[in-house]
């Protein structure tokens, strides 16, 4: 959705969020954040209060909820404490606690925007539309410009069967340019929901003109057209989206349904669905702006209204991944309904998160079971390969990627990554004769519209040649091109510097490797390379400094031995190049 300006509710949330994390300078407290272990409250009010702060700073909403609940019980009249607890309850999806806290806050201060907003959402859920609007309208200043309260009030009107009044409310946002796409999208959904199809089509067209690559708009508009018998137009809209963002599961499922003559239901079937869609959109905005806690609260409220909102569940799971709370992410992904098109992606994410949690054997077993259930799903096979590659099982990963390549048949440009990963896995398993053709194929397929990806492929292929003293001239051209495409990528610049080193152009090597270390100072490979180059130009003390830095930066075990030898003995000056180089670090796979 578009970049939406802060609203009064968002401002209220932000104030509370800042307060929630304001004790960053407190000494560390022992907080049990293992979801498999029970979280025990502290014995004192002060202990619960401080533990809640620490949990809040860590965005551990489970622990924060437990500690704040007991802190509030110990000091029920403390308004600031209640507000902090309220935020923690919302972020954890503890709705009964949230509503009790909101009622108490409103009783003390009817202008508390976040509390009124939360009570308005509760009324919407209960079909109490007049009461919902009353709470939303009491939520603070600037209501006409408040996109959240305005759109939720509009959906309350729509739920009460007042379509004209609902659209009039939405149109109060007309003077806010930042809201255009969001406003027109919800106006279209409201018009469709209330049976005003002519108005719905006009609004869908307006939203689509400004959001051809926005999934929700594309899908809702295409579904609307398909429901009116205009299937070719719907397919054309999906095709345009596919050209920009290929193979999205929701788009693929909708296209398959249209082609097989199956009906596509409307995006929205109730006022609660519409309000949940508002909150989901704002959650996406918060997530994109790095405002994770606010985004989590919006998504939790949206899921209270529509617990099966698959994209809200996926977005919430992604946020927990971003916060490295992989157990929480997996709990959320497991709640994505089995029949939703994005459920396979959620299943894959669960397997990948198990690997990130250090449970690699479980991750492999989980993904292998998924392969048995969905043997023709390329994404599942690729995910297994990614986990194997992450675990340095390179020969097994190459074999798995080979299965995925067999499944795709004739590859298109979107499949470059499969050949790149298989090629790198072959190279890491000492099978360069198989890896080289894959790297060349990846280079042929990777689109020019993805300069960073193209630079990575150029870099890997050219570096491998340089490392083996092959095709040096061609490798130089490739590396120069890679640096042009990714001038801030330390690994790419390192490869160019190492090519100079291989040619004996040590001053040029130092120049490039100095740049690489500045861009990626903690990489053991780059520091090792720079140490070699310094040694060759007579800067022996600086060389040993770089080798020591490489030693302390967690190098590969086989490289650590060579680095230690160089620290002790330096390089053999009779040799034109250092012994024991290794391939460049690989980029993280797209989609995790």
What's residue 573's pLDDT? 67
What's residue 86's pLDDT? 92
| Residue 453 covered by a domain | yes
| Residue 495 covered by a domain | yes
| Residue 256 covered by a domain | no
What Rg do the C-alpha atoms of the chain give, in angstroms?
Answer: 28
**Residue written as token pair 């018009």:** 191
What's residue 521's pLDDT? 93
In terms of C-beta distances under 8 Å and separation of at least 24 residues, what long-range contacts does 548-554 make, across chains too?
550/524, 550/525, 551/524, 553/522, 553/523, 553/524, 553/527, 554/524
- Residue 420 CA to residue 76 CA, distance in Å, equals 59
User: For residue 569, what is the domain's CATH number?
Assistant: 1.25.40.10
Q: If we measure between CA atoms, which residue out of 144, 53, 56 comes closest to residue 92?
A: 56
Structure tokens at 2: 């578009």
Name every residue whose Cβ is closer than 8 Å to that of residue 526 and which is 6 or more positions away in sequence.
490, 491, 494, 513, 516, 517, 520
CA distances to 57, 115, 130, 441 from 292, rounded to whole Å, are: 12, 19, 31, 39
| Residue 380 covered by a domain | no
Contact 459, 477 (CB under 8 A): no
What's residue 289's pLDDT? 80
**Helix 271-288 vs helix 292-305: angle between axes, to the nearest 10 degrees?**
170
Task: Give the three-class secondary structure for 99.
Answer: helix
Q: Which domain holds residue 497?
A: 447-592
Structure-derived torsion over alpha carbons of residues 421, 424, 429, 433, reported in degrees to the nearest 10: 110
The count of domains in the chain is 1
Contact 70, 48 (CB under 8 A): yes
**Residue written as token pair 């051209």:** 477
Residue 55 CA, distance from chain mean position: 22
Name every residue whose Cβ is closer than 8 Å to that of residue 453 and which is 6 or more positions away in sequence.
416, 417, 446, 447
Contact 336, 342 (CB under 8 A): yes
Q: What is the pLDDT of residues 361-384, one digit of tens each?
A: 999 999 999 999 999 999 999 999
| Residue 52 covered by a domain | no
| Residue 564 covered by a domain | yes
| Residue 357 covered by a domain | no
Name the DSSP class of 112: -
Q: What is the pLDDT of residues 144-184, one digit of tens each?
A: 337 888 999 999 999 999 999 999 999 988 766 667 888 99
| Residue 519 covered by a domain | yes
pLDDT per position in the chain (592 positions), as tens? Answer: 333 333 333 333 333 333 323 222 222 333 333 445 567 766 677 777 777 677 767 777 777 787 887 777 777 888 888 888 898 899 999 999 999 999 999 999 998 889 999 999 999 999 999 999 999 988 644 443 378 889 999 999 999 999 999 999 999 887 666 678 889 999 999 999 999 999 999 999 999 998 888 999 999 999 999 999 999 999 999 999 998 888 899 999 999 999 999 999 999 999 999 999 999 999 998 888 878 888 999 999 999 999 999 999 999 999 999 999 999 999 999 999 999 999 999 999 999 999 999 999 999 999 999 999 999 999 999 999 999 999 999 999 999 999 999 999 999 998 999 999 999 999 999 999 999 999 999 999 999 989 999 999 999 999 999 888 889 889 999 999 999 999 999 999 999 999 999 889 999 999 999 999 999 999 999 999 999 999 999 999 999 999 999 999 999 888 999 999 999 999 986 444 433 333 333 333 322 2
- DSSP assignment of 214-239 equals -HHHHHHHHHHHHHTT-HHHHHHHHH
Contact 110, 88 (CB under 8 A): no
């Amino acid at each position: 959705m578009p970049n939406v300006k802060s609203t009064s509710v968002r401002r209220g949330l932000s104030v509370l969020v800042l307060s929630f994390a304001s004790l960053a300078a407190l000494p560390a407290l022992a907080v049990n954040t293992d979801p498999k272990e029970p979280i025990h409250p502290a014995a004192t009010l002060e202990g619960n209060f401080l533990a809640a702060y620490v949990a809040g700073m860590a965005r551990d909403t489970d622990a924060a909820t437990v500690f704040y609940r007991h802190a509030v019980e110990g000091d029920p009249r403390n308004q600031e404490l209640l507000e902090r607890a309220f935020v923690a309850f919302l972020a954890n999806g503890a709705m009964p606690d949230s509503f009790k806290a909101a009622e108490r806050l409103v009783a003390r201060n009817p202008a508390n925007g976040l509390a009124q907003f939360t009570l308005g959402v509760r009324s919407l859920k209960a079909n109490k539309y007049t009461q919902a609007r009353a709470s939303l309208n009491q939520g603070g200043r600037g209501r006409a410009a408040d996109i959240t309260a305005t759109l939720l009030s509009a959906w309350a009107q729509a739920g009460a069967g007042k379509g004209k009044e609902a659209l009039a409310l939405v149109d109060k946002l007309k003077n806010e340019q930042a809201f255009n796409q969001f406003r027109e999208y919800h106006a279209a959904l409201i018009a469709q929901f209330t049976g005003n199809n002519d108005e719905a089509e006009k609004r869908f067209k307006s939203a689509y003109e400004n959001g051809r690559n926005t999934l929700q708009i594309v899908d809702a508009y295409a579904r609307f057209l398909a429901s009116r018998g205009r299937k070719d137009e719907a397919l054309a809209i999906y095709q345009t989206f596919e050209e920009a963002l290929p193979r999205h599961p929701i788009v693929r499922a909708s296209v398959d349904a249209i082609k097989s003559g199956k009906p596509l239901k409307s995006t929205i079937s109730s006022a609660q669905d519409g309000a949940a869609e508002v909150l989901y959109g704002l959650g996406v905005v918060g997530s994109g702006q790095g405002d994770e806690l606010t985004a989590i609260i919006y998504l939790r409220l949206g899921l209270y209204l529509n617990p099966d909102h698959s994209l809200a569940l996926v977005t919430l799971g992604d946020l927990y991944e971003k916060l490295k709370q992989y157990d929480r992410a997996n709990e959320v992904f497991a709640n994505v309904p089995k029949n939703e098109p994005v459920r396979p992606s959620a299943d894959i994410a669960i397997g990948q998160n198990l690997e990130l949690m250090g449970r690699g054997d479980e991750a492999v077993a989980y993904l292998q079971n998924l392969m048995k259930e969905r043997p023709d799903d390329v994404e599942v096979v690729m995910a297994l390969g990614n986990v194997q590659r992450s675990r340095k099982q390179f020969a097994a990963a190459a074999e798995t990627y080979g299965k995925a390549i067999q499944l795709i048949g004739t590859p298109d440009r979107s499949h470059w990554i499969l050949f790149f990963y298989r090629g790198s896995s072959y190279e890491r398993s000492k099978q360069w004769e198989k890896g080289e053709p894959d790297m060349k194929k990846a280079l042929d397929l990777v689109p020019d519209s993805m300069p960073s990806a193209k630079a990575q492929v150029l870099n890997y292929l050219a570096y491998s040649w340089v490392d083996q003293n092959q095709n040096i001239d061609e490798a130089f051209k490739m590396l120069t091109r890679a640096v042009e495409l990714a001038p801030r990528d330390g690994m790419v610049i390192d490869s160019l510097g190492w090519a100079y080193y291989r040619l004996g152009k040590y001053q040029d090597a130092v120049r490039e490797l100095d740049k690489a270390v500045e861009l990626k100072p903690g990489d053991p490979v780059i520091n090792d390379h720079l140490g070699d180059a310094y040694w060759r130009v007579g800067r022996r003390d600086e060389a040993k400094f770089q080798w020591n830095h490489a030693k302390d930066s967690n190098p590969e075990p086989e490289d650590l031995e060579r680095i230690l030898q160089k620290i002790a003995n330096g390089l053999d000056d009779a040799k034109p190049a250092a012994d024991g180089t290794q391939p460049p670090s690989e980029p993280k796979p797209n989609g995790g």
